[in-house]
Amino acid sequence: MQFLPNYRRALVRKPGKRFAEGQTSAERGKPSYSTAVRQHELYCEALEAIGLKLTILEADERYPDGCFVEDTAVITDEVAVITRPGTPSRLGEEEVIADLLAKERTLAHIKAPGTLDGGDVMRIGTHFYIGLSGRTNEEGARQLAKILNEHGYTSSTLPVRTVLHLKTGITPLAPDLFAGIKEFAERPEFQVCLPMEGEDAYSANCLRINDILLIPASSSKHFKKQLEKHEITFVEIPMTEFRKMDGGLTCLSLLWS
């Protein structure tokens, strides 16, 4: 069994002109809209180079955080679970996504009082780790676990204390190998983990798509050497403007087989 699905499709949404008005705790300055647009284009080009067929949505100016489409759904082979974002200003982003995914999958929905961001959901094989964070509450996690169980998947929850989302701090790189910040690297679920500390903590949010790993262009030489040691092919993507808005590589796409 593959530890990750073989992805064929991706959905992305362009950043809007109000991008800098979105939610952030990064304290890294105001992002440049034009630079964010170019970095998003490079991200899309990388996905296409890997072989994915892209659906590219225009920006929705009602939602400054709308380019972070990962948070709006959790997609399996059988069902697309439409989330209920944990930030009130993001409620409604999921509606267009639901309409599009209804053409691809049976839909299920997270309902109030549950909240769930897709960034808190990490799949390994047929198991889903669900982070309990400021954006995903226990009721949202319970609803997702029930839906997944109905389709033959297992799940477990774990607390997210020091970062925004679960996948902000940990990413599967290869079977039984993760990149993770200290909060997750010390957990028994992730026994073999490359520790991501200091400036490399941001690179814990990288994105494995089929045989390629996308990493932030700011990743250190040490991290790259570790990837080379494990024979992991990687592509660097500039992410400076999305980092200013608490965003990472996983945040910018919804992937499915």
Question: Following DSSP, what letter does each residue of the chain receive, concatenated?
Answer: --SS----EEEEEPPPTTGGGS-----S-PPPHHHHHHHHHHHHHHHHHHTPEEEEEPP-TT-TTTT-GGGGEEE-SSEEEE-B-SSGGGTTHHHHHHHHHTTTSEEEE--TT--B-GGGEEEETTEEEEEE-SS--HHHHHHHHHHHHHTT-EEEEEE--SSSSHHHHEEEEETTEEEE-HHHHTSGGG-SEEE--GGGGGGGS-EEETTEEEEETT--HHHHHHHHHTT--EEEE--HHHHTTT--TGGG-EEE-
Tell me the pTM: 0.97
* Residue 81: both structure tokens together: 């679970």
Predicted confidence (pLDDT) per residue in 199-228, tens digit: 899 999 999 999 999 999 999 999 999 999
Q: Tell me, yes or no, if 230 is annotated catalytic.
A: no
pLDDT of residue 2: 80
The residue annotated as part of the active site, out of 67, 165, 193, 206, is 165
Predicted confidence (pLDDT) per residue in 60-69, tens digit: 999 999 999 9
Question: What residues contact residue 45 under an 8 Å CB cut-off, 6+ apart?
Answer: none
The mean pLDDT of 128-142, rounded to a whole number, is 98
- The chain-wide mean pLDDT, for the chain, equals 97
pLDDT of residue 34: 98
Q: Determine what percent of the chain is predicted with pLDDT higher than 90.
A: 96
The mean pLDDT of 7-26, rounded to a whole number, is 97
The mean pLDDT of 240-250, rounded to a whole number, is 98
Q: Tell me, yes or no, if 40 is annotated catalytic.
A: no
Distance in angstroms (rounded) separating the CA atoms of residues 135 and 98: 19
From residue 239, give the alpha-carbon distance in Å to each of 7, 71, 140, 209, 211.
22, 18, 29, 17, 21
Distance in angstroms (rounded) separating the CA atoms of residues 176 and 120: 20
Write down all domains in the chain, each with its CATH number in brackets: 9-256 (3.75.10.10)
Predicted confidence (pLDDT) per residue in 72-98, tens digit: 999 999 999 999 999 999 999 999 999
Q: Residue 206 in contact with residue 249, Cβ under 8 Å?
A: yes
CA atoms within 13 A on the CB side of 129: 22
What letters, b where the CB count within 10 A reaches 16 and e where it falls short, cover 228-245?
eeeebebeebebbbbbbb
> Residue 1 pLDDT > 80, yes or no?
no
* Residue 165: both structure tokens together: 């989302």
Of 136, 137, 135, 153, the C-alpha closest to 145 is: 153
> Residue 23 pLDDT > 70, yes or no?
yes
The residue annotated as part of the active site, out of 44, 67, 193, 251, is 251
Question: What residues contact residue 146 under an 8 Å CB cut-off, 6+ apart?
Answer: none
Distance in angstroms (rounded) separating the CA atoms of residues 52 and 209: 9
> Residue 191 pLDDT > 90, yes or no?
no
pLDDT band at 35 (very low <50, low <70, confident <90, very high): very high
